[in-house]
């Protein structure tokens, strides 16, 4: 789970957006494993995942041949494997950036919400670099990106209903059942909702209301 400070920050942004904190925490938990930043060459960097089929679609000519030769691009989704460690993933991204920076950034899912860089224009950013800067700048930046995607996708009411299957299908794709994404969301929500309930009860006792 996230640290207590992370939970407070995520809950605060959720309330500001009109989203139940436990619901947003659940999505962020499943997407990120409860880690907001990793140390990469001494820097704090957000979690990323590189999608080689996105990179393949965005290249042509010698750039495409070069990327395929280096194992960075493939027309088949999932054919370019992501390393386990985030540090190695950032190295992979660096190799892609050396071929085509914009295409590389668009081919990455960014931050605790794992939002694809390719969505930058749809989400109202001026450029993919602006989206990336948001994700790399702070946890709140990652949350703004994540919430912008959820809102733009019309998923805030779905979260409010706790319709995990519908949310999973829209957010994770039609194959969400293969990794039990909806079940993971439900379990994470129950854990965070229980913590919220205990916190409210403790606060009430301290105030003399319980």
Q: Is residue 189 part of a domain?
A: yes
Closest C-alpha among 156, 152, 67 to residue 104: 67
Q: Is residue 188 part of a domain?
A: yes
Q: For residue 1, what pLDDT is reported? A: 80
pLDDT band of residue 196 (cuts 50, 70, 90) is confident
Instruction: State the Cα angle at 53 between 180 and 110, rounded to 5°.
Output: 65
Q: Is residue 97 part of a domain?
A: no
Q: Is residue 104 part of a domain?
A: no
Q: Is the confidence at residue 209, as pLDDT, over 50?
A: no
Give me the number of domains the chain comprises. Answer: 1
Q: Is residue 162 part of a domain?
A: yes
What is the chain's length? 210
94-152 pLDDT per residue, tens: 999 999 999 999 999 999 999 999 999 999 999 999 999 999 999 999 999 999 999 99
Q: In degrees rounded to 5, what are phi and psi of residue 116?
A: -65, 135
- Output helix, strand, coil percentages for the chain, rounded to the nearest 5: 65, 5, 30
Q: Is residue 169 part of a domain?
A: yes
Global model pTM greater than 0.85: yes
Q: Is residue 11 part of a domain?
A: yes
Q: For residue 145, what pLDDT is reported? A: 98
Q: For residue 199, what pLDDT is reported? A: 64
168-188 pLDDT per residue, tens: 999 999 999 888 999 999 999
- Where in the sequence is the domain holding 172, given as residue range(s)? 1-36+140-200
Q: For residue 210, what pLDDT is reported? A: 40
With b for 16 or more beta-carbon neighbours within 10 A and e for fewer, the 97-115 pattern comes to eebbeebbbbbbbbbbbbb
Q: How confident is the model over 18-34, as a mean pLDDT?
A: 97
Give the C-alpha separation, 190 to 161, whole Å: 14
Q: For residue 176, what pLDDT is reported? A: 92
Q: Is residue 127 part of a domain?
A: no
Give the C-alpha separation, 181 to 31, whole Å: 9
Q: CB-hemisphere CA count at 13 Å for 73?
A: 25
51-97 pLDDT per residue, tens: 999 999 999 999 999 999 999 999 999 999 999 999 999 999 999 99
Q: Is the confidence at residue 195, as pLDDT, over 90?
A: no
């Amino acid at each position: 789970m996230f640290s207590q400070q992370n939970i407070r920050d995520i809950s605060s942004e959720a309330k500001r957006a009109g989203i139940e904190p436990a619901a947003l925490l659940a999505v962020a938990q499943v997407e990120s494993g409860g880690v907001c930043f990793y140390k990469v060459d001494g820097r704090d960097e957000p979690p990323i995942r590189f999608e080689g089929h996105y990179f393949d679609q965005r290249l042509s000519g010698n750039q495409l041949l070069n990327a395929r030769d280096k194992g960075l691009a493939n027309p088949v989704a999932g054919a370019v494997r992501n390393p386990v460690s985030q540090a190695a993933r950032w190295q992979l991204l660096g190799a892609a950036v050396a071929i085509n920076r914009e295409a590389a950034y668009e081919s990455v899912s960014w931050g605790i919400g794992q939002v694809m860089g390719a969505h930058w224009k749809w989400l109202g950013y001026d450029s993919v670099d602006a989206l990336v800067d948001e994700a790399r700048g702070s946890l709140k930046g990652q949350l703004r990106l994540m919430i912008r995607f959820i809102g733009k996708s019309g998923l805030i009411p779905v979260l409010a209903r706790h319709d995990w299957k519908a949310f999973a299908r829209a957010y994770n794709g039609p194959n969400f059942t293969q990794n039990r994404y909806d079940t993971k969301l439900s379990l994470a929500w129950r854990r965070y909702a229980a913590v919220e309930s205990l916190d409210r009860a403790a606060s009430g006792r301290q105030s003399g209301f319980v």
